[in-house]
Amino acid sequence: MTDHRQRPRRRGQGELEGLVLSALRAADGSASAGWVQERLGGGLAYTTVITILTRLLAKGLVTRERVGRAFVWTPASDHAGLAAHRMRKVLDGESDRQAVLASFVTALGPDDERLLRELLERPEGEGD
């Protein structure tokens, strides 16, 4: 006899990290792993939340501070910073950076290309 019960959907790579980061961004300041676990719901184990937070810490995407016997966690950047981090990670994984950047720039629409040109022409540190 075959078991026809449906298995829970397996999350895509990085999906859980994104959910944890979103939960942290929704916090009013720093948050504990327990708070993140509660916020995410769905029966996610506390140890899983700690593992994800530790991975995010290693990637520089969150910071942590000891409060009493536990840590509280804070996102190191906003959505734009996270997207930029992902873009850099992809770029760093390629051997021909020039080809990747050229392909990216040529695929931009006119408004995005104009915006990129404006950003590149700004003096360093301006607009940060």
Q: What is the pLDDT of residues 39-57, one digit of tens each?
A: 998 788 999 999 999 999 9
Cβ burial of 74 (10 Å; 0-12, 13-18, 19+) is middle
Q: What is the pLDDT of residue 96?
A: 92
C-alpha neighbours within 13 Å on the C-beta side of residue 35: 17
Please say whether the beta carbons of 64 and 74 come within 8 A.
Answer: yes
Q: Tokens for 4?
A: 């026809």
Q: Which residue has the tokens 């961004």?
A: 25
pLDDT digits (tens, 9 = 90+) for 27-39: 999 999 999 999 9
Q: Report the C-alpha gap between 80 and 82 in whole angstroms.
A: 5
pLDDT digits (tens, 9 = 90+) for 57-78: 998 889 999 999 999 999 987 7
Measured in whole angstroms, the distance separating CA 50 from the mean position of its chain's CA atoms is 16
Give the global pTM. Answer: 0.62
What are the C-alpha distances in Å from 100 to residues 87, 93, 103?
Answer: 11, 10, 5
C-alpha neighbours within 13 Å on the C-beta side of residue 20: 28
